[in-house]
A and B are shown apart, each in its own frame.
Chain A
Amino acid sequence: PPSAPVPRHRIPQIPLNPARASRASPAMAAAILRRLSPAAAQRAPPRLLPPTLARGVSDSTEPLTVETSVPFTSHIVDPPSRDVSTTPRELAAAFRDMALMRRAEIAADSLYKAKLIRGFCHLYDGQEAVAVGMEAAITRRDAIITAYRDHCLYLARGGDLVAAFAELMGRVDGCSRGKGGSMHFYKKDANFYGGHGIVGAQVPLGCGLAFAQRYRKEGTVTFDLYGDGAANQGQLFEALNMAALWKLPVILVCENNHYGMGTAEWKASKSPAYYKRGDYVPGLKV
């Protein structure tokens, strides 16, 4: 947790605690009820939110600057500015996507416990911001590759929600026609290359995607995702060495959820400063 005091945001804080929000006066509640027709009163439960909170989500494209809650820490490179320019529409879309991903992963968890999803089911709830934040910075011509915690990366790349669930349940309408399963989602037309079950294997593969991008002089990049468990794999350092030698346009992204399979990070990694593990390669802690 950050030790610095939480800085003042420039977006007004909206109290989202429903208990607090619904503490409207009885007179106001009665006024709202009177405005509802009898039929509506029977259909919908009375809303006790004060009118000022009942407003639509902004789709404004006015530029907006947000200061990140913590500064970036970097390794042999200058950290980027804490000010991020965005728009209300973009933020609202990001929130919607993350909320959808969260709901999808929780639903997948329920299906898995009901044995309607078989084998493995690696969930991304808690990590949604990585997928959504990355997408905001790149195009669909850039490439993404990850390991087996791939449901939300597939969705972020434009994958179909129903196709994802169909795949999890082994149906022919699944994104891999039921032949892949949870760990093998792909979307080649959006440059999403899976979907890999062997811990760490995706790291050299991602460097290979970047190799092709450089070979063809496309000007695009590859985001090569892996976890804190895979960070110790030898093939990662082999691939990183070649990526540095050949100047491949690849960004290795370590999603640190502090567990590699069932083993806690402190028992598996001598150095938890994954952003420094590149040694001669610049790193950023986000």
Chain B
Amino acid sequence: GYSSAAKEITVRDALNSALDEEMSADPSVFLMGEEVGEYQGAYKITKGLLDKYGPDRVLDTPITEAGFTGIGVGAAYQGLRPVIEFMTFNFSMQAIDHIINSAAKSNYMSAGQINVPIVFRGPNGAAAGVGAQHSQCYAAWFAHVPGLKVLAPYSSEDARGLLKAAIRDPDPVVFLENELLYGESFPVSDEVLDSSFALPIGKAKIEREGKDVTITAFSKMVGYALQAAEILSKEGISAEVINLRSIRPLDRAAINASVRKTNRLVTLEEGFPQHGVGAEICMSVVEESFEYLDAPIERIAGADVPMPYAANLERLAVPQIEDIVRAARRACYRALPMTATA
């Protein structure tokens, strides 16, 4: 026979179908957030779900994050499975006490009596031209806390598999999406489209195999890393790109195995550099694979400044593909062109 073209779906449709299927399979799953119902979702992720499941299971909330996040956590104490949407994770700071103190720590403080099967999801990180208060990446903030799981999908397969795993998980999960990825299409196999599909939490994916330098990334930066790897391959540098998928727990085994193979590491993230995800990855490699490093670890992160508005400044404040390429070259001792040494 012939092989049909692989089906492509957008990240938006991947998330929507995952929510739909999980709500259909488990009546205790419900959605809560601003504009998730009648407006069909601020970014249309929850489109059609109010019509399908009704207002008892898809709840439009007032603009009161602390209140509705607390209500969601309380409902989870009683065994329901809420999916709380933050219009962006910048607004999760209004509710961060409930995420950390009411959700993440309860299982430990109650010695296992209370578990909190809740998902907090929404777009994270920089968008385009939305300014300082609407552009921060919170991966490092949430990944700091024991008791939380933190996921960051890149492709449609990641979006479907990780969101399903998050909803089925008995503990609180922070699910960091990216607004600029919602419209991107990725090929998906039949297995991914099956309603029972889920990805394991805590496992990274090698998006591109290589042997000269490891580049770790998550969310939108995975796409940038792949483009950088393409450019690097033309210069004779074979980059291995790791899509982290899970920020907490971090797949330290995969990262270290890759670094032991390539001996060089570039960590890539969009967020601020200090105390960021790259700092943790660097320490993990120093702890476990120090003798395998042939060069200092390179860290590419957003600029250490509140996100500016002007387009040229904004471009300078987030990593660009040239920055990743330059860092990989530095890690491979190719920072200077060969002729400069003559």
Contact = CB atoms under 8 A, between A and B. Distances in A.
A184 interface: yes
A206 B62 contact: no
A114 interface: no
Interface string B195-209: 000000000000000
Given A184-B109, A196-B102, 7 more contacts: A179-B108, A186-B113, A205-B73, A206-B74, A209-B74, A215-B56, A241-B67
Contacts of B76: 208
13 contacts: A186-B109, A186-B110, A186-B113, A193-B77, A197-B101, A198-B97, A204-B67, A208-B77, A209-B74, A215-B30, A235-B66, A241-B62, A242-B71
Contacts of B102: 196, 198, 201, 205
B303 interface: no
Contacts of A206: 74
A74 B285 CA distance: 65
Interface string A197-241: 110010111111111110110000000000000000011011101
Contacts of B114: 186, 188, 193-194
Interface residues of B, number: 32
B274 interface: no
A239 B97 contact: no
A47 B322 CA distance: 95
Interface in B89-146: 97-98, 101-102, 106, 108-111, 113-114
B78 interface: yes
B61 interface: yes
Interface in A79-104: none
Nearest to B112: A177
B282 interface: no
B64 A205 contact: no
Leading 3 A-B pairs by shortest Cβ distance? A208-B74, A204-B70, A238-B67
A208 B71 contact: yes
Interface string A152-185: 0000000000000000000000011101100010
B156 interface: no
B59 interface: yes
A195 interface: yes
A242 B114 CA distance: 24
A36 to B, nearest CB: 51
A175 B109 CA distance: 10
A239 B70 contact: yes
A186 B107 CA distance: 11
Contacts of B67: 204, 207, 235, 237-239, 241-242
Contacts, number: 122
A252 interface: no
A170 B252 CA distance: 34
A194 B110 CA distance: 8
A209 B77 contact: yes
A242 B56 CA distance: 13
A249 to B, nearest CB: 12
A212 B97 contact: no
Contact of A238 (B30, B56, B64, B109): B64
B182 interface: no
Contact of B75 (A180, A184, A188, A209): A209
Contacts of A144: none
B103 to A, nearest CB: 10
Interface in B165-196: none
With most chain B CB atoms within 10 A of its CB, the pick from A207, A210, A238 is: A238
A205 B111 contact: no
Contacts of B68: 204, 238, 242
Given A198-B97, A201-B102, A242-B62, A208 B113 contact: no
A266 interface: no
Contacts of A239: 67, 70-71
Contacts of A176: 109-111, 113
A187 B110 CA distance: 9
A145 interface: yes
A238 B62 contact: yes
Contact of B71 (A143, A188, A204): A204
B66 A177 contact: no
A143 B109 contact: no
A1 B74 CA distance: 37
A215 B110 contact: no
Contacts of A246: 59
Given A177-B111, A195-B109, A212 B62 contact: no
Contacts of B109: 176, 179-180, 184, 186, 194-195
A235 B97 CA distance: 11
A199 to B, nearest CB: 10
A140 B110 CA distance: 19
A279 to B, nearest CB: 15
A235 B69 CA distance: 10
B254 interface: no
B153 interface: no
Interface in B37-79: 56, 59, 61-62, 64, 66-79
Contact of A198 (B72, B101, B111, B113): B101
A94 to B, nearest CB: 27
